[in-house]
Amino acid sequence: MKERPVSRRDFLSTASAGSLAAAAAQPPPAAPGKAQAGAPALLGGQPIRSRPFPPWPIWKEADEKAILPVLQRGVWSRDKRVTEAEQRFARMMGAKHCLATCNGTNAIYTAFRALDLGPGDEVITTPYTFVASIQPLLLSGALPVFADIDPVTWQIDPDRIEAKITRNTVALFPVHIIGGVCDMDRINAIARKHNLKVVEDACEAHFGEWKNRKVGTLGDLGCFSFQTGKALTCGEGGAILGESDALMDRCYSFHNLGRPHGSVVSKNKSGHPIVGSKCRMAEYQASILMTQMEVAVAQAQTRSENAAYLLKKLAAVPGIVPRTDYAQVTHTAFYYFGIRYQKDKFDGLHRDRFISALGAEGIPANKGLGVIEGLPMNKEEALFAAFQSKLYQRVYAREKLAAYPAENDCPLCDSLVEETVGFHQRMFLGTKEDMDDICRAVQKVYDNRKKLV
């Protein structure tokens, strides 16, 4: 592994000012779950850890060697390297077709436009996601409709979907959030019953599996992101998986300015048979993706083993409730390791203070993905900005838009948003000792909760 130079930002995210002072002296390891001695690092004590966690992204000589010929060849936009990457990703995932895109947001946009999503259409999805799930729906003039989450798995609750279906519903849009997996059996069954399409947002769930089948291959179309932080990355990039030749031809054509492709043919031989955008992956992105795919499965396995170890250890700490998957999930992706932080068990210690205290101990944590802006997607500002636009004002009845906030209320998601704490996937690429450190730091903050309040 080539060690990236540690930037100031990385350094500050993995070590606190207190930890800098104490960098040389690591306290001896103590059994997790046992009381941790010493003052909290946030109050000037010695931190649990001063070593950084594994960096991300990780690249090797193989990545460098592979990209040079691409640069030298002089063909930098979509060509044979992208096709190779598509074939390889399709094979890895067990999908018939893969279309690479410039990023995950545009994978979702392309998928929905290929399905002809447009003004007046409704798509049922989860409020507990990142804004990139929702923007493509708004760009299409469609209405996202939110079904509340399952508080245990954090995924869209299938029990709440059917009540949201109207004659305008065209698709279900489950998001496998933070690497967990939605209940795809129930979601697909509802879709079949009501003749709806299923598009999976698998942007955070590379290699996640439902009954031994990879997420992204379980609905009509599955969308992925290869953005820098993701568990499989090429900096920026995305992909769509699908089984239907005709639908994937439409995706291809849309992502290539509406040019003819396969069954999408031009009537006058030189025209563009459909409306399209340009969302193509570049050759150098594909080159990085190819070499990253070589190590991605082993990395996913390491994450799983470390996360399973941490899960057991954390069970000893009160007030920490990890996200749990459905029994049918055969592989969890762990884009983030998510816990619910129950502040009442920590004598009211605010979550922000808990996160700062962990940071001071050398353990970077955050409020979880999708909520960096602090709002679930049913309260997202862009949604209400769209409602003010000419298009939405013309298409949707005033009463419908006025009733929207109440009809899309999702209290279970609201409480999850208040409680989430997440640890990024890169932290799970190291050793069991790294996991012990996370657990010891959580325990130490718990032991010192009264002092930290």
Ligand X SMILES: Cc1ncc(COP(=O)(O)O)c(C=O)c1O
The site for ligand X (CB under 6 A) is made up of: 103-105, 129-130, 132-133, 175, 201, 203-204, 225, 227, 238, 369
Helix, strand, coil tally for the chain in percent (to 5): 45, 15, 40
Of 227 and 253, the one with the shorter C-beta distance to ligand X is 227
Of 16 and 153, the one with the shorter C-beta distance to ligand X is 153
User: CA 226, CA 233: separation in Å to the nearest integer?
Assistant: 4
> Which two three-digit tokens encode residue 276?
């399209």
Of 41 and 124, the one with the shorter C-beta distance to ligand X is 124
What separation in angstroms does the CA of 102 have from each of 77, 278, 284? 11, 9, 11
User: CA 143, CA 397: separation in Å to the nearest integer?
Assistant: 12
Q: To the nearest whole angstrom, how small is the minimum distance from the Cβ of residue 453 to ligand X?
A: 33
> Which two three-digit tokens encode residue 161?
């979907």
Q: To the nearest whole angstrom, how small is the minimum distance from the Cβ of residue 135 to ligand X?
A: 9
Q: To the nearest whole angstrom, how small is the minimum distance from the Cβ of residue 105 to ligand X?
A: 3
Contacts 24+ apart (CB under 8 A), 84-87: 84/286, 84/290, 85/281, 85/286, 85/287, 85/289, 85/290, 85/293, 86/239
Q: To the nearest whole angstrom, how small is the minimum distance from the Cβ of residue 175 to ligand X?
A: 5
Which H or E run includes 112?
A: helix 104-114
Of 258 and 368, the one with the shorter C-beta distance to ligand X is 368
Of 204 and 283, the one with the shorter C-beta distance to ligand X is 204
Return the closest-CA partner of residue 100 out of 245, 184, 224, 193: 224
Of 203 and 438, the one with the shorter C-beta distance to ligand X is 203
The Cα angle at residue 190 between residues 187 and 191, in degrees rounded to 5: 85
Q: To the nearest whole angstrom, how small is the minimum distance from the Cβ of residue 324 to ligand X?
A: 19
* Other residues' Cβ atoms within 10 Å of the Cβ of residue 11: 12
Q: To the nearest whole angstrom, how small is the minimum distance from the Cβ of residue 348 to ligand X?
A: 31
User: CA 359, CA 15: separation in Å to the nearest integer?
Assistant: 7
Q: What residue number has its CB nearest to ligand X?
A: 104
Q: To the nearest whole angstrom, how small is the minimum distance from the Cβ of residue 432 to ligand X?
A: 28
Of 130 and 341, the one with the shorter C-beta distance to ligand X is 130
